[in-house]
Amino acid sequence: MHGFAADVVRPAASEWDEREETPWPVIQEAAKIGLYGFESLADLFGDPSGISLQIANEELFWGDAGIGMALFGTSLAVAGIFSSGTPDQLAVGVSPART
């Protein structure tokens, strides 16, 4: 996460802050390496230590808070799904026991 923030997010941050637009190219880069999508959030939320998501957010937001929100802001709804979702909603390889 730190490498992505340093190599991709920080160099792009000022441009996307100035444009006030969704940084789709950065989101696409994150998706290519598995940092954007339900599966990556499932892994972060499912970490038994409970700190992976916080560490990922800290590293990503060190790169740029606006881009961090574009990538992980959508995870706000995921917490509700993980806490009370049906088995079908959790069927992406995550068992309810991991939540």
Average pLDDT per 10 consecutive residues for the chain, totaling 99 residues = 96 95 94 86 84 91 93 73 78 53
Dihedral angle of Cα 35, 41, 45, 49, to the nearest 10 degrees: -20
Burial 8-30 (b: 16+ CB within 10 A, else e): bbeebbeebeeeeeebeebeebb
Supply the pLDDT for residue 65: 93
Rounded CA separation 7/82 (Å): 31
Give the domain ranges of the chain: 2-89
Q: Which CATH class is domain 2-89?
A: mainly alpha
